[in-house]
Amino acid sequence: MYRHLERRLAQHVREFLRHTYDLDLPKIVIEQPPKVEFGEYALPLAFELAKKLRKAPRKIAEEIVNGLGSIPGFEEMELAGAGYINARLRREELAATLVADERPRAEVPSGKILVEHSSINPNKAAHVGHLRNAILGDTFVRMLKFAGREVDVQNYIDNTGVQVADVVVGFLNIEKKSRAEIEQLARQPRFDYYCWDLYARVSQWYAENKQNVQVRQQALHAIEEGNNDSAAVAEVISVAVLRRHLETMDRLDIEYDFLPRESEILHLHFWDAAFAKLKEGGVLSFETEGKNNGCWVMRRAGTSKSEIAEGAEASAEGAEKGEVAEEDQKVIVRSNGTVGYVGKDIAYHLWKFGLLGRDFGYRRFYRYPNGHDCWMSTAVGALEHPHFGNVSEIYNVIDARQAEAQNTVIEALRALGDNEQADHYTHFSYEMVALTPRCAAELGYQLSDEDKSRPYIEVSGRKGFGVKADDLLDRLIASAKNEVDDRHPQLTDAERTTIATQIAVGAVRYFMLKFTKSSVIAFDFKEALSFEGETGPYAQYAVVRAANIFRKGGFDPQEFGRNAADRVSAGDLAKHLNGEAGNEIWELWLASAKTSYLIDQCVATTEPAYLAKHAFLLAQLFNAFYHRHPILSEADEGRKKFLLATVAVVRRELTRVLAVMGISVPAVM
């Protein structure tokens, strides 16, 4: 409703400007005043118009205020400061729509959206960096669904790369395990932990002897070719580790619809189809000299043609022929004829948009406890399956280090003339999770003096350096469980574990969402394990308190919410929300009204952190309100109903906001 009113205001102002000044502004800037006393919306419009109209800002603001007339839902406009126009809502009207939970539906664009996230190499346990990816991705999916969009969630599995080959080498060449033994190990509960350690050992083993590196090459080729022992072992390992990743993510309520695998991209010859298109479209060029002699190359994204043309004389000759300077070349097909990962990625993305002309086979792979099926690609699949791909919009949740590769894929689409698709390709970029030196030391890693002086140290799976996702979750659950055990000894152990798990998930999900995407998270257990202050449990606690009021008062909160419209009168709303005394509580109502508005902002900017901040603000306002106003002991019956309606609205909206962040609310805390 809040965003609906904002649009209504913008519409009125736009029409007024057209009539009065014959001005057509494409965008009416609407801000939020620093304090509720100033109103709910602020327009710095007059400053902008001062130059165009050659009048003082204050004078213009005055004209607008006087000329705008009345707008449904709004009080009269007000002039403030040097030329701000503040708009004030009729508080009781917005409050009434909130009580009744009336939400005007915004028009939803049609077309399916594909969100790709997680994409963890299936050769070792998931770590905190993967957690950030999956939580950002899953939260974004929830936001899109909240906004009414249809979404498919994909988790791309690179099961044929060197990382998997390395672990295969570890099992076969270092540990000298048989296939049967490996299959046995793969059934162990935390097989991914075993691989984590082995992977680190393999890296060391390569460093010890140059010849060992050749073993890796052989393994890699064998895996890509298929139909041999190495390939079979690779399949066992990657599938088992992948299953573990799905289990880990399921602990956080993160689910996927489809797992496309690189092995199928290879075996179903996606690349051949893409290669033909790229050659036909003149996107690739074949090098006949220099270091990339014999390769098919593409211009690296971000290197423009004009710069080359204006650049050094040495490249001027090549530039005239439309060639790409060597340092700007991205090799797509190697001189030995094999395709690199960017090539496969281009093929994959052509498939996503339905431009490839080929499809995967599909098979059911994983069934979640709630009955939802996750499908996986396969060479020859089930006859009956849901349809994936062929979408109109995609978001790839991939960290900022992959920006160049992502842009290269987008450029390939453009070069093929698929601009519509390129425009709807969003690299949802975010910064990595690193460890603080203190955290690294805590984990027992030896640090150089140089590393100790850094603000953070990059995680490295290859070195086995990092915090495993399941370890973090285990620690969070244990810590929460201690607290719950103390506070609620009357509950069964199972009940207490459920609550502790909800709190742990709330803590880790909030932690990963509260930083803006562009901020590197320097991970530290102390901060991540905190349940106080700006944390998920703080917000959960606010909802639990709200629910407690109803429980103690003998009401069912949902029931009360549904009937609140009958219980609290318009007169009471007006009486208690207006004036000096009403400001504080109105702030709480207003914040509660902003759920849809915030989610729109988050989707438009691909920035979930705004919603996390909002959840915290809402919880903070509620906690202050809770402290200041005794409700059940309120003598004035009308006021008591009003306060209960306030609690009902906040409880509902905060629960909703937390749900979009994938955070559930415990029964008690």
Partner RNA sequence: GGGCGCGUAGCUCAAACGGAUAGAGCAUCGGAUUUCUAAUCCGACGGUUGCAGGUUCGAUUCCUGCCGCGCCUACCA
Query: Would you state the structure tokens that stand for residue 210, as one six-digit string?
Result: 């140059």
Instruction: Give the residue, chosen from 188, 379, 632, 636, that forms a contact with RNA under the rule CB under 7 A.
Output: 632
Q: Provide, rounded to whole angstroms, the least separation between the CB of residue 374 and RNA.
A: 21
Query: Would you state the structure tokens that stand for residue 413, as one six-digit string?
Result: 């689409």
Sheet holding 425-430, edge to edge: 361-367, 373-378, 258-259, 150-154, 112-116, 393-399, 425-430
Stretch touching RNA by CB under 7 A, among 168-176, 351-359, 396-404, 577-585 = 396-404
Stretch touching RNA by CB under 7 A, among 140-148, 464-472, 511-519, 576-584 = 511-519
Query: Would you state the structure tokens that stand for residue 24, as one six-digit string?
Result: 């057509």
Q: For the purposes of burial, counting CB atoms within 10 Å of the CB of 208, is it exposed (0-12), middle (13-18) or buried (19 or more)?
A: exposed
> Which residues 6+ apart lie within 8 Å of 66 measured at CB?
none
Q: Provide, rounded to whole angstroms, the least separation between the CB of residue 57 and RNA.
A: 7
Q: Provide, rounded to whole angstroms, the least separation between the CB of residue 47 and RNA.
A: 3
Q: Which of residues 193-252 bind RNA (CB under 7 A)?
A: none
Q: Provide, rounded to whole angstroms, the least separation between the CB of residue 101 and RNA.
A: 22
> Whose Cβ is closer to RNA: residue 382's or residue 478's?
478
> Whose Cβ is closer to RNA: residue 239's or residue 432's?
432
Q: Which of residues 342-381 bind RNA (CB under 7 A)?
A: 344
Q: Which of residues 57-76 bind RNA (CB under 7 A)?
A: 57
Cα 203 from Cα 293, distance rounded (Å): 31
Instruction: Give the residue, chosen from 172, 240, 609, 611, that forms a contact with RNA under the rule CB under 7 A.
Output: 609
SS3 of residue 374 by DSSP: strand
Q: Provide, rounded to whole angstroms, the least separation between the CB of residue 329 and RNA.
A: 7
Query: What values do phi and psi take at 508, rounded to 5?
Result: -75, -35
Cα 15 from Cα 17, distance rounded (Å): 5
> Whose Cβ is closer to RNA: residue 243's or residue 613's?
613
Stretch touching RNA by CB under 7 A, among 17-25, 185-193, 313-321, 606-614 = 606-614
Instruction: Give the residue, chosen from 121, 154, 285, 408, that forms a contact with RNA under the rule CB under 7 A.
Output: 121
Residue 38 binds RNA, judged by CB under 7 A? yes
Tell me, residue by residue from 74 to 93, as one string, x for binding to RNA by CB under 7 A and - for no binding.
------xxx-x-x-------
> Which residues 6+ apart lie within 8 Å of 304 measured at CB?
none
> Which residues 6+ apart lie within 8 Å of 194 measured at CB?
185, 188
Task: Decide: 395 and 140 in contact? Cβ < 8 Å.
Answer: yes
> Whose Cβ is closer to RNA: residue 96's or residue 507's?
507
Tell me, residue by residue from 162 to 181, as one string, x for binding to RNA by CB under 7 A and - for no binding.
xx------------------
Cα 326 from Cα 242, distance rounded (Å): 38
Stretch touching RNA by CB under 7 A, among 104-112, 358-366, 577-585, 602-610 = 602-610
Q: Which of residues 286-325 bind RNA (CB under 7 A)?
A: 291-295, 302-303
Instruction: Give the residue, chosen from 110, 227, 306, 336, that forms a contact with RNA under the rule CB under 7 A.
Output: 336
Alpha helices (H) in 259-402, listed in sequence order: 262-267, 270-280, 305-310, 313-320, 341-352
- Per-residue b/e over 515-547, b at no fewer than 16 CB within 10 Å? bebeeebbbbbeebbbbeebbbbbbbbbbbbbb
Number of CB atoms found within 10 A of residue 73's CB: 16
Q: Provide, rounded to whole angstroms, the least separation between the CB of residue 260 and RNA.
A: 13
> Whose Cβ is closer to RNA: residue 183's or residue 458's?
458
Only one residue has tokens 């948009």, namely 353
Q: What is the DSSP string of 100-113?
A: TT--PPPPPPPSEE
CA 236 to chain centroid? 30
Q: Provide, rounded to whole angstroms, the least separation between the CB of residue 99 and RNA.
A: 19
Q: Provide, rounded to whole angstroms, the least separation between the CB of residue 483 and RNA.
A: 4
> Whose Cβ is closer to RNA: residue 141's or residue 609's?
609
CA-angle at 375, arms to 372 and 376, nearest 5°: 155
Q: Which amino acid is at 617?
A: L
How many helices (DSSP H) and strands (DSSP E) are in the chain?
A: 29, 16
Instruction: Give the residue, chosen from 281, 282, 322, 533, that forms a contact with RNA under the rule CB under 7 A.
Output: 533
Instruction: Give the residue, chosen from 62, 183, 323, 404, that forms a contact with RNA under the rule CB under 7 A.
Output: 404
Q: Which of residues 536-565 bind RNA (CB under 7 A)?
A: 537-538, 541, 544-545, 548-549, 552-553
Q: Provide, rounded to whole angstroms, the least separation between the CB of residue 238 and RNA.
A: 11
